[in-house]
Structure 1
C-alpha cells in the first residue's frame, strides 16, 4: 500500500512539472530562438542524422511545418545560445539571407544547406543497442 501511494505521488509530481524544452524521440533537445529559428542540442548521440531528425520533429510538432517545408542550416556546430551547452546546430524555416561563401572543405552543417521536413524525418532511425 505504501509503494502504491509513493508511485501515485511521484506520478502526480511528474505530470505537473512543465518541460522547459522539447525532446526529440532520438534524445536530442530542441530550443526555440524565435518563431522560425531553433537550436538542436545533443545529449548523448551526436551524429549528423540525429540533428536533422530532431530538426524535422521540432519543425512538424512545434512550428507546424508541412512535409515539403524546407529546413535550413542557420549556423553549423557552435555553442548553444539558448542553453550555454558547448555544441548545438541552429536551424531555420527561412532561408538565410547572408550566406557566407563556403570553402571546398567538408562541413557537416554548411550555412544555407537545406532539406525538406520529410527528407530530414527520413534520417530518423532506431538507435542500435550495443551489448
Structure 2
C-alpha cells in the first residue's frame, strides 16, 4: 500500500511539473517562476535562441502583444559558452531598462529588453535550421 501511495504522489508531482514546463518553437524549455519565467539554455541556441523562447512564451502563454517588452530580470554571469538559465520578466519594476545593442551580451545584464515582436523574429533562425 505504501508503494502505491508513494508512486501516486511521485506521478502527481512529475505531471504537475511537466505541465508547467513550456517548450518554445525552437525547442528551448521555459519554466515559470513567481516574478516571471526562466529560459533554460542547452548551449546550442545562443542569445538569439533564448530571446526567441522568451518571446514565444510571452506570446503563447502570457498573451503578450508584439509591442510589449521583455526584460532580463536576472542575467547570467558573463563569459563564453555560458549555459546558465536566464530569468525574464514583463515587469520593469526595480530594473534599470537597458537598450540592447549586442544581443549576445544582453543576457548578462538585468534590465536589457526587447519588444516581444523583435525577439520573436529570432525564431526565424530556428525555422530555417530545422
Do they superpose with TM above 0.5? yes
Question: Residues 11-31 of structure 1: CA distance to partner in whole angstroms, max 9, x if unpaired?
Answer: xxxxxx673310011121000
What TM-score do you get using the length of structure 1 for normalisation?
0.66
Greater gyration radius: 1
What TM-score do you get using the length of structure 2 for normalisation?
0.66
Change (3 A) 1:111 1:61: same
4+ residue segments displaced more than 2 Å:
17-20, 126-129
Give yes or no for contact 1:27–1:45 (8 Å, CA) kept in 2.
no
1:90 corresponds in structure 2 to 87
The Cα of 1:69 is off from its aligned counterpart by: 0.5
What is the 5 A alignment of 1:1-131? 19-20=18-19, 21-34=21-34, 36-43=35-42, 45-77=44-76, 87-99=84-96, 107-109=105-107, 110-124=109-123, 125=125, 126=127, 128=129
Change (3 A) 1:96 1:73: farther
Alpha-carbon RMSD across the aligned residues, in angstroms, is 2.6
Give yes or no for contact 1:30–1:41 (8 Å, CA) kept in 2.
yes
2:12 corresponds in structure 1 to none
Aligned residues: 101
Q: Output the CA distance in 2 between the equivalents of 1:64 and 1:122.
A: 17
Q: Which runs of 5+ in 2 are unaligned?
A: 1-14, 78-82, 97-103
Q: Which runs of 5+ in 1 are unaligned?
A: 1-16, 79-85, 100-105
